[in-house]
Every structure is written in C-alpha cells, then in structure tokens.
C-alpha cells in the first residue's frame, strides 16, 4: 500500500504537479481553507460581529436581526439545491471562483446602502456565494484524499473560517466611518476586496481531480474497493435521513450561538463591544484547530463516535451560557465551543465520502447540507422570537443544549462505516 506521498511515474507521462515536493492534495486543501476563510469566515460569521452596530444604526429589533440572518440562509439553501446540477458541469475550480466573486459583489452592495430590504436581498446573494464555496471545497476532498487522511484534510479546510472570525473580532470593533459610510459598511467594503483577491488565488491553485495533475489521492490505499457510483443508491436514503437529522440539529444550535453570543455578551454580560470582539476572536483562534482535531479523532475512532464526542462538548458549551449569567461560565463556554465548532461539518463531509463513495460524495453532502441549512434557518429566527418574549437568549441556549444531547443518541445509533 502506498502512502500517497511518493507516486510512481509512468514512462512518457507528464510528471505530476508538485510544489516543493509536497503532494498537490495538500495545496488543494490549503487553498480550500483560504476560500472557506472568505465563504464562511467573512460571508457568514463576520455578521455576528457587525450585527450590534448594524442593529444600532438601523434600529433593528431582535426579530429583524434574526430575519437578516435568515436571508443569508435562504441564499445558502438555493446554492445547496443548485449545486448537484452546477458542480458536475463546471467543477470545483470554476464554481468556487464564481461564488467568491458573487460574495464580493454582494458585500460591495451592502457597503453602500442602509436600506433594510436591500440589505436582506444582498445578503441572500452572499448566502448563495457561501454555499457555492462550501460544498465544492468540502466535497472535492473526497477525490483528493483516501479515508485514512480525509478527516484531517477536511479539518484543514475548515480552519479557514476560524481566521475569518479572528479577523472580524479584532478589526470590526476598530472600524471607523469613512466619508458617508458607517463603520459596519466599511467592514463590508474591506471584506469585498479580500474576496476578490482570494477568488484569483482559488482559480490559480484549485484542481478538480488528482487526474488533472497526474496524481493519485493522498493516503493509505483502502483495503476495500472504492465506490464509484455517481448517484446515491435508494438503499442509502434511510442513512442519509439519519445523518441529515443530526446535521440539522447542529445547524440550528450552532447558528443560534454564533449569531447571538456577541449580542449576549454586550447585553446580558454587560461587556463592551471591544471586549466582546476580543472574546469572539478567541472563538476563531480555537476553531482553527477544532476541525483538524476532530477530523483526526474521527479518522482513528470512527465518524460515529467522533460525532457523539463533538455533540457532548457542544451541549456543555450551550448549557454554560443558558443556565447561568456567570462570567467564568461564559469564558468556559467560549473555550469549549471554539475547540469543537467545526467538528460536526468536518465529520459529516468525511462521512459523505466514507458511506457513499467519492463519486457520490457531492450529492450526499448537498442533501446533508440542505438539512443543515434548514436547521440554520430556523434556529436564529426562533431564538430571536424567544428573546423578544423573555428579554434574552437563555432559553434558546438551554434548548440548544438539550437538542445536542438528543444528537448524541442519534449519532450512537449510526452503523460504523466501512472503509471505502
């Protein structure tokens, strides 16, 4: 069995593409991480830092804040629905590049408006672009990596959004109005420029398949034959639904946390916006390691047990801010959430390749992400409504903790995956 690092070259064949002797799979993974930095880190999670200043200047209530976040997820769902049609035709390279440019255009529009309806419309486009980055960058790893290293590679890709959280946490509180633009509008303008630069990088370095550069996937060759069916089998629908429910629970609970935890820190915990930004940046710093950590763990103990362990830590993080307004509990929650935040998407993406095979991984991941997006869409809206009734987000965090324990039980009911 080869380890994927040294590949035999056939006589008369073009030498495989490498950078400094590094297997090109890792170049693709690193580029995917940079794309995810924009697609999720800036396109989705920077919103939580910009939200307090946006709400103040636009006089938004909790429900309207939830609706604005919901519009992004509508766009994300549109991308999920279209991806099985677009991705096979255009590939990861073209789809990811175009999506990053769409995000840039929508952010540029948001930088020059204070109209709430127009912001909602533009944030739908941002959501479409985010989905158009996430699905290709995650699913292409099933082509580039065998199961032995698939979780670790996906963890590297999911390190990207963490840097987006770090950037927004440190930069957003320091933003100042520029000419007629408010501070949050300046933030969107800066993020738009970054997206254009990363789109150029993505087009330059991403490759759709190892065959494009005369290489084989990285990792240990599987002992069982790799599934090559391009469509999901009907017998796998039950498993897909099972995984989808788990992913929907994660989507709803984590989205409540990332959307409103900064608002809670400023409101319930009476922290300044700058202090809350610094704490938010710590989530980003810790999250850089979360995907790689749990990807590696799931490579060794299996996706089923990896999911259960991840949800256990998520449940504790949610309950720490749901059951008490203790500041130390907030810090403990931040640490736990940061260390585990990208665990579930990484394990789900790896599971799509493991359970359904590399060729069908994109379709399986699209279906799973649809369920995930549905949870994300409902979570912030429900939490915003409950906050209007109760005055804070404690009940929402408590319900998130209970839901996470339900997900642990569902994860343990999964059958162990076979190596594919």
pLDDT tens for the 420 residues of the chain, in order: 333 433 333 333 444 555 556 888 899 999 999 999 999 889 887 887 788 888 888 888 877 887 887 888 889 889 988 888 898 889 899 999 999 999 999 999 998 888 889 999 999 999 999 999 998 998 888 888 887 788 888 888 988 888 887 888 778 878 777 777 888 888 899 999 999 999 999 999 999 888 887 888 887 776 655 555 555 566 678 888 999 999 999 999 998 998 888 888 887 887 887 788 788 778 878 888 888 899 889 888 888 999 999 999 999 999 999 888 788 989 999 999 999 988 998 899 888 878 887 777 777 888 888 888 788 778 888 888 888 888 888 899 999 999 999 999 999 998 776 544
306 closest CA partner among 253, 360, 346? 346
As a whole number of angstroms, the distance between CA 13 and CA 2 comes to 19
| Residue pair 381/308 in contact by the 8 Å Cβ criterion | no
As a whole number of angstroms, the distance between CA 111 and CA 186 comes to 6
Q: Which residues pair with 145 in a beta bridge?
A: 218
Phi then psi dihedrals of residue 218, to 5 deg: -85, 140
Instruction: Report the chain's terminal Cα–Cα distance, integer Å.
Output: 14
| Residue pair 344/250 in contact by the 8 Å Cβ criterion | yes
Given the structure tokens 């070259």, which residue do they identify?
Answer: 9
- pTM score: 0.75
363 closest CA partner among 210, 211, 139? 139
How many other CB atoms are there within 10 angstroms of residue 206's CB atom? 24
70 closest CA partner among 51, 85, 98, 97? 51
Q: Which residues pair with 178 in a beta bridge?
A: 181
| Domain parsing of the chain, residue ranges | 24-214+234-412
The b/e string for 23-41 (b: 16+ C-beta within 10 A; e otherwise) is bbbbbbbbbbbbbbbbbbb
Q: Looking at the domain 24-214+234-412, which fold is it?
A: Growth Hormone; Chain: A; (1.20.1250)
């Amino acid at each position: 069995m080869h380890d994927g690092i040294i590949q035999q070259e056939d006589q008369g064949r073009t030498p495989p593409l490498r950078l400094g002797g590094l297997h090109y799979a890792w170049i693709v993974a690193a580029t995917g991480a940079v794309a995810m930095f924009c697609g999720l880190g800036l396109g989705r999670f920077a919103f939580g830092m910009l939200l307090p200043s946006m709400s103040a200047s636009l006089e938004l209530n909790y429900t309207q804040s939830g609706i604005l976040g919901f519009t992004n997820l509508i766009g994300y769902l549109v991308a999920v629905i279209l991806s099985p049609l677009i991705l096979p035709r255009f590939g990861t390279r073209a789809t990811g590049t175009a999506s990053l440019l769409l995000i840039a255009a929508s952010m540029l529009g948001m930088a020059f408006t204070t109209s709430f309806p127009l912001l909602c419309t533009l944030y739908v486009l941002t959501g479409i672009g985010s989905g158009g980055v996430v699905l290709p960058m995650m699913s292409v790893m099933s082509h580039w990596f065998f199961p032995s290293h698939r979780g670790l590679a996906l963890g590297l890709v999911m390190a990207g959004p963490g840097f987006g959280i770090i950037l927004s946490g440190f930069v957003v509180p320091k933003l100042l109005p520029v000419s007629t633009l408010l501070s949050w509008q300046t933030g969107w303008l800066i993020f738009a420029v970054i997206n254009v630069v990363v789109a150029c990088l993505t087009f330059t370095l991403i490759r759709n398949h190892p065959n494009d550069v005369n290489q084989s996937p990285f990792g240990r060759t599987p002992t069982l034959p790799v599934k090559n069916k391009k469509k999901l089998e009907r017998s796998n629908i039950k498993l897909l639904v099972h995984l989808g429910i788990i992913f929907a629970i994660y989507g709803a609970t984590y989205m409540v946390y990332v959307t409103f935890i900064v608002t809670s820190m400023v409101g319930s915990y009476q922290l300044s916006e700058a202090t809350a930004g610094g704490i938010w940046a710590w989530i980003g710093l810790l999250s850089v390691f979360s995907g790689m950590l749990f990807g590696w763990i799931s490579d060794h103990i299996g996706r089923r047990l990896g999911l259960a362990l991840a949800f256990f830590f998520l449940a504790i993080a949610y309950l720490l801010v749901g059951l008490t307004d203790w500041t130390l509990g907030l810090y403990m929650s931040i640490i736990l959430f940061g260390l585990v935040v990208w665990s579930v998407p990484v394990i789900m993406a790896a599971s799509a390749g493991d359970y359904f095979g590399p060729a069908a991984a994109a379709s399986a991941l699209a279906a799973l992400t649809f369920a995930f997006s549905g949870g994300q869409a409902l979570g912030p809206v429900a939490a915003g409504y409950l906050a209007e009734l109760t005055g804070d987000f404690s009940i929402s965090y408590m319900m998130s903790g209970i839901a996470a324990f339900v997900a642990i039980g569902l994860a343990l009911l999964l059958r162990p995956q076979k190596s594919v």
